Structure 1
């Protein structure tokens, strides 16, 4: 039996997972990610991740059985290499020092109708990052051989083979035309598209781990490195064929709602709605918000495990509510989040809520925004297809109860897989399409009693009225 090593780099943490052919996790290592202030911009901590990999991989059990290595990372991150080394470190997408270059970029970039990329805050459009670097780092720019999306950078670090991949090029970058499946016109005119490495599928093998690196990592010289994938699209891949046309709700730092059965025509870019690109190249209508970050803000330090049905009952009885937004992204970006009791705004915000009720409010708020986004993408085949919830909130009883009530009429499933969707999707892509239809980790959300359902609908109507009143 051989094993697959998954490197899963999220914005908050990086994880190494050793998974056997049966899909069981044999070992797990976690490293917190920290940005580094470089001379010109805030950088992702590449050096720290390299040191962690060099330290942790040689300590993994059963290394001699590792036959595949697959990588999943967050989006909005690109690395410039000269063929042998990193030339420009990846920018942290939360840095916002673009100044007048942002406006100049928006004048150049193809429109939303072509790219499916809205104009996002901070550095969440990777095309803006690359444009700014082209304008401000001319000497370094001359040395660039390839611009690699973050998953493909790490695949290159392991294998020495450079590649590009559609799910990373097409995740709100302004660099890709999803319908035409080619680089954006502005990126071609600017010479940026000329620096993209050859396009290869996420599941394809690039080659073995570099011999000298295999020795340092104590990996077999036959261990094959795959191209890699954008993390949200790794989550989508695991359900793409198991639940055809299903709308996938991937929860985490970002809560991303993806409707491969929907149509992009009705998307509203100002609400952080966009077109993602699946690993198979299909355009995927998508909406999102920073649910994990907003959940933490509303918890205000309280233990998330306090989100119980008893707490939900007490929360509704006391008249608490929350209106968006508590992060700089999502359908209500730019709007100040507020906490209310019996229709009166609370100056202390989340801290006004009793600590034992805050996690229930946070979960209720997350379910509220999720239900709104699912409804906004409910067109075409997505209008009647099942909804699949996965990630941390899939195990939250308050979130699931509210979502079940607010999506009544839709078949709503939750993933019971103990392994997070990004890692499971990457594992499946290490043997694609053979693993594409694997399932067995779905269960329907429980139906909600009539009394609680009515109370939850009253809460939602109240939240809508409060938003209108602001």
Structure 2
């Protein structure tokens, strides 16, 4: 007898993944693929959209024909800030422009001349000035610089919804993609920003539905529930929201460390857009998020330490927290590191390391980085009564990072999780009627509790 499963395509910038989950959300099958990037008309690298679409269909059709699995539902999780522009026949009109592609400065200046002041606009839309990462500005850029293409656009779909469209042929919009620093949404109005209507962009943005929406389709003779897709960061947050009753923040660590607070009370217009973003939950509620270029800075500084002390590239992975080393450093603490990708008023003009041992220098680095992380978490918490902090991603396994974080937040419960499946699992959960309980994270995410050390 075939096993009933939910299928999820989880599309990252580098890895393209396909998962099957059973009724308890246990992973029972996975496939990975990578594609060479192509280039757009300006020579900027970008996603090979035809190759991606072909792979989606090939993988799904092959799994449908197996004797092992009975696919009852499928959903899609992808990176954000990416539009697919379709003509009246449903064919893409342009490449999938990479969010790293720079927008011309005159376009940005023109936009804020019309719809500024800039600071007010960024606060209203809950996003920083990230150029093409504000994917709504891509539509403005197309309209102003490529009017002959813009006029042919029937619908502009965010990438998760385009993948759903590939299977359903139904163009839709949903909250998590709209709310992903697109500059399209006015968080105080809970509607598209006025500029969207003034530029008539609402005419090419499909109807908005809840992220939990699914469409019952007859696909190749099978009745399958097809989801509308979800933005990956919001998807990774969903299992926590569904299974935790008390208020919490999630610290999702990696190249960027993003702190999500789904319980924020502060209006978007009062949030500092320099370091804060707003995302949206699947029901359209705002999620305050602060960010720190933690993993990137860590990588750059560790490379310098490795070179200075002549150790192997992986040496840092084995350095554990040492209480005496910590006490020695904080006794006469001074800021020693000049950051390469983070701006901080406390940092010296150049790095000043005088320790004999790598371990001491590494402890000092982590002490300073964690101080930045602590402030980032406090900014996300704001005036919210938060009792728990969850940490997932690469730094959840860094012994010094976790011990220092638990010390700084000894009035809260700190937990780490192994959420390598986070965004894919969230996509499966979003179209499921299954209720999650407090044991879900322990069973599926290797939940660990951490007790702060005591300074005597």
Count of residue correspondences = 426
Q: CA deviation at 1:143?
A: 1.5
Match of 2:309 in 1: none
The answer to whether structure 1 residue 136 and structure 2 residue 145 are counterparts is: yes
Match of 2:114 in 1: 108
Q: Out of 149, 152, 169, which is 2:161 matched to?
A: 152
TM-score w.r.t. the length of structure 1 is 0.80
Q: Per the alignment, do residues 157 and 368 of structure 1 end up closer, same or farther by CA in structure 2, a change over 3 Å counting? A: farther
Provide Cα deviations, 1:407-463, integer angstroms capped at 9, x if missing partner: 22222222245x432122112112046348763423322322426xxxxxxxxxxxx
Q: Per the alignment, do residues 311 and 149 of structure 1 end up closer, same or farther by CA in structure 2, a change over 3 Å counting? A: farther
Structure-1 separation of matches of 2:54 and 2:107: 34
Match of 2:423 in 1: 422
Instruction: Look up the SS of the partner of 2:69 in the other structure.
Output: helix
Q: Per the alignment, do residues 33 and 299 of structure 1 end up closer, same or farther by CA in structure 2, a change over 3 Å counting? A: farther
Structure-1 separation of matches of 2:236 and 2:23: 19
Match of 2:317 in 1: 306
Structure-2 separation of matches of 1:10 and 1:390: 18
Contact 2:292/2:376 (<8 A) preserved: no
The answer to whether structure 1 residue 19 and structure 2 residue 21 are counterparts is: yes
Q: CA deviation at 1:209?
A: 7.0
Instruction: Look up the SS of the partner of 1:279 in the other structure.
Output: coil
Match of 1:326 in 2: 341
Instruction: Look up the SS of the partner of 1:431 in the other structure.
Output: coil
Instruction: Output the aligned Cα RMSD.
Output: 3.4
Match of 2:223 in 1: 222
Provide Cα deviations, 1:12-40, integer angstroms capped at 9, x if missing partner: 32222221112211122223465432113
The answer to whether structure 1 residue 341 and structure 2 residue 341 are counterparts is: no
Q: Per the alignment, do residues 386 and 337 of structure 1 end up closer, same or farther by CA in structure 2, a change over 3 Å counting? A: farther
Contact 2:374/2:408 (<8 A) preserved: yes
Q: Per the alignment, do residues 359 and 164 of structure 1 end up closer, same or farther by CA in structure 2, a change over 3 Å counting? A: farther
Match of 2:307 in 1: none
Q: CA deviation at 1:359?
A: 7.9
Contact 2:40/2:97 (<8 A) preserved: no
Structure-1 separation of matches of 2:438 and 2:217: 27
Provide Cα deviations, 1:48-107, integer angstroms capped at 9, x if missing partner: 323443454456576632211111112211111125211122221111142311111223
Structure-1 separation of matches of 2:158 and 2:454: 47
Contact 2:79/2:232 (<8 A) preserved: yes
Stretches of structure 1 that go unaligned for 5 or more consecutive residues are 212-219, 344-351, 452-470
Provide Cα deviations, 1:282-305, integer angstroms capped at 9, x if missing partner: 112111134343343334392387
Provide Cα deviations, 1:203-248, integer angstroms capped at 9, x if missing partner: 211343753xxxxxxxx73232101111111122111243343111
Structure-2 separation of matches of 1:136 and 1:238: 41
TM-score w.r.t. the length of structure 2 is 0.82
The answer to whether structure 1 residue 47 and structure 2 residue 58 are counterparts is: no
Contact 1:18/1:27 (<8 A) preserved: yes
Q: Which has the larger radius of gyration?
A: 2
Match of 2:175 in 1: 166
Instruction: Look up the SS of the partner of 2:215 in the other structure.
Output: strand
Q: Per the alignment, do residues 222 and 391 of structure 1 end up closer, same or farther by CA in structure 2, a change over 3 Å counting? A: farther
Q: CA deviation at 1:280?
A: 1.4
Q: Per the alignment, do residues 411 and 128 of structure 1 end up closer, same or farther by CA in structure 2, a change over 3 Å counting? A: same
Structure-2 separation of matches of 1:305 and 1:224: 46
Structure-2 separation of matches of 1:76 and 1:37: 18
Contact 1:325/1:337 (<8 A) preserved: no
Contact 2:84/2:158 (<8 A) preserved: yes
The answer to whether structure 1 residue 87 and structure 2 residue 93 are counterparts is: yes
Contact 2:300/2:340 (<8 A) preserved: no
Structure-2 separation of matches of 1:19 and 1:427: 8
Structure-1 separation of matches of 2:336 and 2:71: 50
Q: Per the alignment, do residues 35 and 107 of structure 1 end up closer, same or farther by CA in structure 2, a change over 3 Å counting? A: farther
Structure-2 separation of matches of 1:15 and 1:359: 35
Match of 2:449 in 1: 444
Q: CA deviation at 1:146?
A: 0.9
Q: Per the alignment, do residues 19 and 42 of structure 1 end up closer, same or farther by CA in structure 2, a change over 3 Å counting? A: same
Match of 1:5 in 2: 7
Structure-1 separation of matches of 2:208 and 2:377: 31
Structure-2 separation of matches of 1:361 and 1:222: 58
Q: Out of 76, 89, 105, which is 2:81 matched to?
A: 76
Q: Per the alignment, do residues 226 and 316 of structure 1 end up closer, same or farther by CA in structure 2, a change over 3 Å counting? A: farther
